[in-house]
Structures are given as C-alpha cells and as structure tokens.
Structure 1
Amino acid sequence: MATRHFVEQGFERTSMSAIAKEMGGSKGTLWSYFASKEELFAAALEEGTQVFRASMTEILSPEHNLPEAIRAFAERFIQRLTADDAVAIQRAILGEVSRSPDLGRIYMERAPNMAHAALSDYLKQQIASGAIRPSDPDEAARTLLSLCTGGHTQRVLWGVAQKDHEAARKQAALAAEHFCRLYIEP
C-alpha cells in the first residue's frame, strides 16, 4: 500500500496521514513503527524485493549449470527491472533524488545492492571452485549487472519501449554470452 502511494504521489507528496488513513489506523500508530517517511519507504522497498531475492537464491544455486544460471539470473533480473512496479518506483526516485538524496541511497541498498551481493557471493564460490577464471567477484557482478541494465531495460525505463518478455530474454541471453566470454571461456 505504501509503495503505491510513493509511486502515484512521489516521495515528497506522499503523506503518512494518507497511508495511515487507508490502512484504517492512526498516524501515531504508523509513526510508532516507522520513525520517518524514509524508513517507511525503505520497508516498502524491502517488502517489494523479498520475492525477487528468494528467486535469486534458487537461480544462483551451485547445483545449476554455470552458464545457464548466469543466463537465468540475467533474464530474471531484467524482467524484474522492467516490471511495471519497478519501473514506476525507479522513475519516482529519479524524479525526486535531487530533492531527497537519501532516496537514492535507500533504493540502492534495498534493491540493486542486494542483487549485486547475491551475485557476487555466487561468483566468489564459482571462482573458488575453478569454474570461473580468477577475478574480482564484485567487479564480475558489476559487469553482469551493467550488461543487464542497458538496452531494452533502459528503453523501458525511459518510456521509449514497452515491457517485452522476448526482448528481455534476448538481452539476457546476450548479457550472459558476453559475461561467459569474459569470465568463463578459456
């Protein structure tokens, strides 16, 4: 519910009173759970990313074929970034981060940095097992995430293309192919 308010109203115009009213509670009760609107925003992001993080744990299982796991991760990551709610929240943050710089930090901590940490941990394990050539797992994770955030993802974010599962799948396959060339293939 709070996420919808942040998306529809923007951070600055979102009112804790309006959220409390819609929930059927009091503003005081809401404030007892969240000391600030930023904390409520962080909790809304946390809730919105829980399912995605759980799916990342499954995809990045050491039992899976490495190139297939990389492709599956890339596809799921791109699909998540281009989901309607994710695009809306990214646009809202971009529109307000200059007035509320903490929004960018909160978003990065609760969304992209979580994906980066999960991927980096997975790649660290793969490097230790010899499946990936020796490299910095954080840099390798940033490389794959960067490959996933260009192309179709950017076009959807900026409103010049519609979400398209086939385009996301193609971008993911290309990102995985480039990543594997850089880090896996001899």
Structure 2
Amino acid sequence: MTADAVQVRRGRKFDQVLDGAREIFLRDGYEGASVDDIARAAGVSKATLYSYFPDKRLLFKEVASAQCQLQAEEAMTTLDLTQPPDRVLRQVARTFLGFIYSDMGQRIFRICVAEADRFPELGREFYQSGPMLMRNALVGYLTQAQARGEVRIDDMDLAADQFAELCKADLWPKLVFGLKQSFTDGEITRVVDGAVDTFMARYGP
C-alpha cells in the first residue's frame, strides 16, 4: 500500500470511518466493539473499513490518537506564551483537566487501561498523541519563562510532570474510583489555584 493511496482514501471516507469507530468504541469499549457495528455506524461496508484498517487495534489507536491530538492542538491555539506563568499555568491546567475529566477523555483512558496487558502500545499511543504534546508544550513555555527570569527550574521535564500531577490532586482519584462523576467549576478552580500556587512556590524566581 502506498502513501499516496492512503492519502486519497483519507479524503473520501477516512473521517467517516473514524466517526463511526469513535461512537462504537465509546459505547461498547474496545473488547465489546464489533467490526460489523463500526461499519454500520460509519455507513460503510466491512470491505471499505478493512481497506483503511486491517485490524481493530489499529483503528482504535487512530481514534484515540486523533481525539487526543485534536484536544492538544486546540489547547495550544488558546495559549498566549508571552504571558507570565501565573496566567499561562492556569490556562494549561484548565485545558488539561477539561480533557481528562471529559466523557471522551475518561472513556479513552479506561479503554487504554483495560487493554494495557494485551496491547501495551495502546497506552503509549494515547500518551504520545495527547498528554506528551501538552507536556512538550509546557516544557517549551517554561524554558521561555526561565529566559525571562520568571521561573527557576533545573529539570524542565520533571517540573512539567509535577505540574500535571498537582492538577490531578483530589479530583482525579475520586473520578477514577467512581466516587464522583463530575465536578463543579469551584472544585476545579480550587485545585487549579492550589496547583499553580504550589508550583510557583517551588519554582518561582
């Protein structure tokens, strides 16, 4: 299969197949999703579906990657990287939490965890297509902020990872373990403010 052929198909029914697959994966999970249901939801034949994706694993990877990359790219367009850390970090935190606490983000995460033993590459694809993009963008911003004298950081990668974990304090465990299904803006603001204040207390100039 040539790269050109793949590009032509992308222009015709590729997105249609992904839309159908997304609907079924989120409804039935990875294991429960059948190729017949995906083809039906996408409005294509099984032969057409298989011409794009020879197996379900590759299709799920594409669905998860596309969704995460879309979220990450949208987040990047809303950030003004010339602003001080106190403002940018709050934007980053809200964007990050907005995705991982969304229905889509939670379902993709749970599918990746459920299938991690059989398909460990699913988790890697999920991380590389979304969280890693946000992490790299945050590292890039912190590097610029340090050049302006707004932060003092020796290990940029570690600092970015620490900020992401601070953003998940309190709320993430409650969501993962089913203690709560959603959070108010006040609850999210409390965590975001705490994350930014703690981060800046450690890395501020």
Task: Deviation per CA, 1:25-63: give whole Å up to 9, x if none.
Answer: 112212222243232212212332344223431344222
Could you report, residue by residue, the CA deviation over 1:164-185 in whole angstroms, capped at 9, with x for unpaired residues?
A: 122112111111111111111x
Superposed, 1:67-86 pairs within 5 Å as: 67-86=86-105
Match of 1:8 in 2: 27
The answer to whether the Cα contact below 8 Å between 1:74 and 1:173 also exists between their aligned partners in 2 is: no
- Please state if 1:177 is matched with 2:197: yes
Aligned residues: 185
What is the correspondence of 1:22-171 to structure 2 with a 5 Å cutoff? 22-164=41-183, 165-171=185-191
Give, as a single letter, the amino acid of the residue that structure 2 aligns with 1:43: E
Q: Indicate the RMSD between aligned Cα atoms, in angstroms.
A: 1.9
Larger Rg: 2
CA offsets 1:52-106 (integer angstroms, 9 cap, x no match): 2234313442222321111121122112211122112222222222232222222
Of stretches 38-47 and 82-91 in structure 1, the one that deviates more from structure 2 is 38-47
Identity of aligned residues (%): 29
Counterpart amino acid of 2:112? I
Which structure exhibits the higher relative contact order, with contacts defined as CA atoms closer than 8 Å and separated by 6 or more residues? 1
> Structure 2 length as normaliser, TM-score?
0.80
Using the TM superposition, name which of 43-52 and 167-176 deviates more: 43-52
- The superposition leaves residues 101-148 of structure 1 with CA deviations (integer Å, 9 ceiling, x where unpaired) of 222222112222122122112112222332211422211110101111
Alignment CA distance shift 1:136-1:60 (3 Å)? farther
Give runs of ≥4 in structure 1 deviating > 6 Å. Answer: none
- Unaligned runs of 5+ residues in structure 2 are 1-19
**TM-score scaled by structure 1?**
0.88
Pick closer, same or farther for the CA change 1:107–1:49 going to 2, 3 Å. Answer: closer
Q: Structure 1, unaligned stretches of length 5 or more?
A: none
6-15 or 175-184: bigger deviation: 6-15
CA distance, structure 1, for counterparts of residue 140 and residue 51 of structure 2: 36
